[in-house]
Chain A
């Protein structure tokens, strides 16, 4: 308001505080290239047997790709941090939701193992 009153004296311009960041084209193209490369990488990684690590590698690549989209395509890198706080809050609650659910699921998973010889006595 103080800034606005200062403007009143010589004509108030309601667009004066509007300075959105413009993402340079090379940055857009670089993010696009990274996303394509990572897509090819996650595709190729499925043909390499890394056991239980395959799912974590796939998720790691997805998180990197998602971060690139959020930071540059969605302007979080340049915007007010509060938008990022909103996003991080939702992701935090999703992580809590899935994490606690999976803790419970994996706790019982031993009962489901195919070929377990003593299903009845495991618990």
Chain B
């Protein structure tokens, strides 16, 4: 077949092997080349879904174990900005799909307009994300010890500071190296001021010895305490001791609601705004993990948006060179698939992170 004369207008002589300029030598037809590229893209998208699936699994496990942490901490996310970002991404998905249509029909001007609008959508999304991230940074809701709920946060880890939106700025950069364990231990005493006032002395005397019959509680709490690696011994101790109060192993009521059973109902139905003091002491120490999950999931998604913006910029350049048309639009199509997947992942991230009830 290679020495047959081609009827394609964009053919070039290539050692007697004539074919359209866009058709690589190892493909017989444009359709075969298109299908190959598209299947490759879908295989890649499948791995992307599996990667994000791991993060969604981490989210599900942690939310399943600590629903009250999510109910409390998600109030720090801006639902309105998140909603606007959802609309921005959906709109950019529309212009991307429209751009593929323009490329298929050879509408060069429409293709350029659609690609540029899609790129602007990416800028809009990342701009709003920057506003959100900046607010988190300025109010010490960052990752690791940059989060004021982290036991190692040196800007103030007591309940009062953790509860206020405007912690003193400036402590952020200084405490990145880690605070001294001694000060953390002192702060841990104040982390739950009213939680175990009755036996603070007992806690101090026997930091690592659970009361008889509470070994199971200690075993359960140990992995969670290990989650904050640099948590001092004092904090682990408070996690264990909290449910071990009382002669019959009855946990003490925490401030805000003396009726422990009512609290269980409260968390599961989730009505009303939850105060930091409503959280059990052990859960107060875990609030920062919500922000780790939030930043990891939205951060990885944001990186994907940035990559997509780079790819679409490439498409804009090629489109202005007139590279795409009815016979060849594979790059527009498969980069469009990638962009739609980024949109699709955000469609799940938005309700799961921002719209917790």
Give chain B nearest CB distance to A91 CB in angstroms: 7
**A17–B355 CB distance below 8 A:** no
**A73–B4 CB distance below 8 A:** no
Confirm or deny: B260 has a beta carbon within 8 angstroms of a beta carbon on chain A: yes
Confirm or deny: B79 has a beta carbon within 8 angstroms of a beta carbon on chain A: yes
Q: What chain B residues lie within 8 Å of A15 (beta carbons)?
A: 8, 20, 29-31, 327
Which of B170-178, B201-209, B294-302, B339-347 sits within the interface? B339-347
Confirm or deny: B129 has a beta carbon within 8 angstroms of a beta carbon on chain A: no
Confirm or deny: A2 has a beta carbon within 8 angstroms of a beta carbon on chain B: no
The 0/1 profile, CB within 8 Å of A marked 1, for residues 65-87 of chain B is 11010000000000100010011
Within 8 A of A (CB), among B321-357: 327, 329, 333, 336-337, 340-341, 343-344, 347-348, 350-352, 355-357
Confirm or deny: B273 has a beta carbon within 8 angstroms of a beta carbon on chain A: no
Count of chain A to chain B residue pairs whose CB atoms are closer than 8 Å in the complex = 241
B: number of interface residues (CB 8 Å): 91
**B347–A69 CB distance below 8 A:** yes
- With A15-B20, A43-B79 given, is the CB distance from A121 to B347 under 8 Å? no
**A87–B251 CB distance below 8 A:** no
The 0/1 profile, CB within 8 Å of B marked 1, for residues 78-108 of chain A is 0110110011011101100110011001101
Confirm or deny: B60 has a beta carbon within 8 angstroms of a beta carbon on chain A: yes
Bound CA–CA A65/B343 (angstroms): 10
Bound CA–CA A105/B220 (angstroms): 12
**B351–A97 CB distance below 8 A:** no
- Chain A interface size, as a band, is 35 or more
Which of B45-53, B131-139, B153-161 sits within the interface? B45-53
**B60–A101 CB distance below 8 A:** yes
Within 8 A of B (CB), among A25-44: 25, 28-29, 31-32, 35-36, 39, 42-43
Give chain A nearest CB distance to B138 CB in angstroms: 26
**A17–B351 CB distance below 8 A:** no
**A28–B264 CB distance below 8 A:** no
**B355–A43 CB distance below 8 A:** yes
A contacts, CB < 8 Å to B: 4-5, 7-8, 11-20, 22-23, 25, 28-29, 31-32, 35-36, 39, 42-43, 45-46, 49-52, 54-55, 58-59, 61-62, 65-66, 69-70, 72-75, 79-80, 82-83, 86-87, 89-91, 93-94, 97-98, 101-102, 105-106, 108-109, 111-123
Closest 10 CB pairs of A and B: A115-B260, A94-B53, A90-B46, A54-B357, A17-B31, A58-B351, A18-B31, A105-B64, A18-B30, A12-B4
B contacts, CB < 8 Å to A: 1, 4-8, 19-20, 23, 27-32, 34-35, 38-39, 42-43, 45-47, 49-50, 53-54, 56-57, 60-61, 64-66, 68, 79, 83, 86-87, 90-91, 93-94, 96-98, 100-101, 104-105, 213-217, 220, 243-244, 249-251, 253, 260-261, 263-264, 267-271, 280, 283, 327, 329, 333, 336-337, 340-341, 343-344, 347-348, 350-352, 355-357
Other than the given A23-B97, A49-B271, 8 more pairs (CB < 8 A) read A11-B6, A20-B34, A39-B90, A66-B344, A89-B46, A102-B60, A106-B64, A120-B243
